[in-house]
Every structure is written in C-alpha cells, then in structure tokens.
C-alpha cells in the first residue's frame, strides 16, 4: 500500500515537525489536527519559521516553501483529518488514557487500509493498539526532537503488529529522508531512551554526590566520548520532568537499576525543569 496522504494528530513540539517533514521531504499531502485554533496557528507558525530558516540557508527555494505549505491542511475535525489518510501519526500528549480514547475514535473513521502509528516515547504500543479493532496495523514511529533535523526513526513492533505494517512505516520513513531501526519487541524506552536515560541519571548522581560540577561533567563526556552535547546540558534541553517520567516508566518494568536520582526528583518538585522554565542545572534566563 503506497502512502499518499498522512494525518498528523497534534500540532505541538513534535507534531508540527513531523507534519513539516512529511510535506517537505516526502511530499505527502498532510492533514494536521489539533484541538484549538490557537494550537493550529502556533504549529503552523513554527512550520513557517522553520521553512524560512531553510530558505535563508539556501537549502530550500521560496517556491518549495510555498508548495510545502500548500500540502499541509490544518483542521480541528478528527474525522476529516483521518478519513482519507493512508498513514496516521499520533503526536498528542504522553497520557495513556488520552491516547487510547483518541485511537478509539480514529478507529471509527479511518479507512480499512490505513496504518496507525504513535510517536510515544514510553507508552506501550500494544496497549494503544488494543484500543483499536486492528492491532496488526498499529506500530510505534518514534521521531527525535526536532524531527526536521534528527535523522532517526525507531520503528516499534507491538505484540500483534504485522510485517506488512512495519514495511509500510519503514518505506514512509525512508521517503521522509530518515534512517530507521526496528525495535522488535514493545519494550519501555525502546532502544535509544533505554540507553540514554540511565546515562543521564548517572550524570545527575555525579552532581548529587558532589563528584564534579555540571560544567566538568559536560566537558568530560563531550571530549571523552565525543558526544556533541554534554549530558547535563542535554537534560536541560529534554526537560527534567520528561526525563523523570521516562525514568519512572523504565523503573516500573526493569526495577531499581533505573531508580531516579533524588536530585532529579527534588529539581522537578522545585520547578527547575530546564530550558523551558528558564532554569535547570544551568540558568537559561541570561543566555
């Protein structure tokens, strides 16, 4: 089944970027759905800003920018968004009950041949798929932030995902210009976060135990491991609340090996969430 039209649910941080890549690189027609006009406007504003940056850098022409925008069709209507879509990519907030209720509704309106995917970072693909009547057509399609620049998509099999579904998603990802890896089982954190989150948590323990400063930890990992960004800075970008919730999901399934550092909890309680609140390990207000 060839994908021609994509529906992206959620025009937030990830959804707007996924819609943009789908229209700009894969040249798919895209229905972009959110709950309120202001969220649609903000998502479309971010897409325009990003396309404009590609134009300024000379990697996209003015004409291509307008054609890309012409392929994105914003809507508030879920039925309209999914009814003619071949591939549905859900990027709504990380809340299991919310996601399941949206998938129940999508299941009612989507074409029989449609492929269902979720961009979740940590929620079980199998559990979401079970809210639909077609779990074999459901799989994880995990983009990285920002989707316009990050080259990887993790494809995640649910317990009932068919080989055909994996193939359709892999082909769509390729058309979007992305590399893919297959997570063969629906397992918390998939591949990247299962490795990354304990590493970040360990970096927080180094601060907590007074072993090194955040600056020196970042310097050590950048120069010693060739990471492009140090772990403490990365934590401030990711958001400490997001990091804590992924850690908790991992701990629930894998045990205390994934126990969050007490300093991470304290900082989340204090509202020191990183860049988005102006302060985390570093002070971003003055930057």
Which are the catalytic amino acids?
A: 121, 142, 154, 193
Residues 235, 260: contact at Cβ < 8 Å?
Answer: no
The minimum distance between CB 255 and ligand NAD, in angstroms, equals 22
Residues in the chain: 287
- Cα distance between residue 18 and residue 32, in whole Å: 10
- Of 30-38, 205-213, 253-261, 262-270: span binding ligand NAD (CB under 6 A): 30-38
- Cα distance between residue 161 and residue 97, in whole Å: 21
Would you give the end-to-end CA distance of the chain in angstroms? Answer: 48
β-pairing, 138-143 with 115-118? parallel
Contact between 15 and ligand NAD by CB under 6 A: the answer reads yes
Out of 28, 39, 103, 190, name the contact with ligand NAD by CB under 6 A: 39
**Residue 111, number of CB atoms within 10 A of its CB:** 14
Give the binding-site size for ligand NAD (rule: CB under 6 A): 21
Out of 3, 6, 7, 9, name the contact with ligand NAD by CB under 6 A: 9
Quick one: DSSP state of residue 257? G
Which whole-number Å values give the CA distances from 2 to 105, 113, 118, in the listed order?
24, 10, 19
Site string for ligand NAD, 139-168 (x = CB under 6 A): ----x-x-----------------------
Looking only at residues 110 through 139 of this chain, which bind ligand NAD when binding is defined by CB under 6 A? Answer: 119-121
Out of 58, 93, 210, 228, name the contact with ligand NAD by CB under 6 A: 93
Using CB under 6 A as the criterion, which residues of the chain lie in contact with ligand NAD when the complex forms? 9-15, 33-35, 39, 91-94, 102, 119-121, 143, 145
């Amino acid at each position: 089944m060839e994908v021609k039209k994509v529906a992206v649910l959620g025009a937030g941080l990830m959804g707007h970027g996924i819609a943009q890549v789908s229209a700009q690189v894969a040249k798919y027609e895209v229905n972009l759905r959110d709950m309120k006009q202001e969220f649609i406007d903000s998502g479309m504003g971010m897409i325009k800003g990003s396309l404009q940056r590609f134009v300024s850098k000379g990697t996209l022409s003015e004409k291509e920018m307008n054609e890309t925008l012409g392929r994105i069709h914003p809507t508030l209507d879920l039925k309209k968004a999914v009814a003619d879509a071949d591939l549905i990519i859900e990027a709504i907030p990380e809340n299991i009950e919310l996601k399941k209720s949206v998938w129940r509704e999508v299941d009612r309106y989507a074409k029989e041949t449609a492929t269902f995917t979720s961009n979740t970072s940590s929620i079980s693909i199998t559990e979401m798929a079970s809210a639909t009547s077609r779990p074999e057509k459901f799989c994880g399609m995990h983009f990285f932030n920002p989707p316009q620049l990050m080259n990887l998509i993790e494809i995640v099999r649910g317990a009932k995902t068919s080989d055909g579904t994996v193939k359709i998603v892999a082909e769509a990802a390729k058309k979007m210009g992305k590399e893919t890896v297959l997570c063969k089982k629906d397992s918390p954190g998939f591949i990247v976060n299962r490795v990354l989150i304990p590493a970040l948590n360990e970096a927080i323990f180094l601060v907590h135990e007074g072993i090194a400063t955040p600056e020196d930890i970042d310097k050590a990992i950048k120069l010693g491991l060739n990471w492009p960004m140090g772990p403490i800075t990365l934590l401030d970008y990711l958001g400490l609340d997001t990091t804590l919730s992924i850690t908790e999901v991992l701990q629930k399934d894998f045990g205390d090996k994934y126990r969050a550092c007490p300093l991470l909890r304290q900082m989340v309680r204090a509202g020191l969430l990183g860049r988005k609140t102006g302060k985390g390990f570093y002070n971003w207000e003055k930057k």
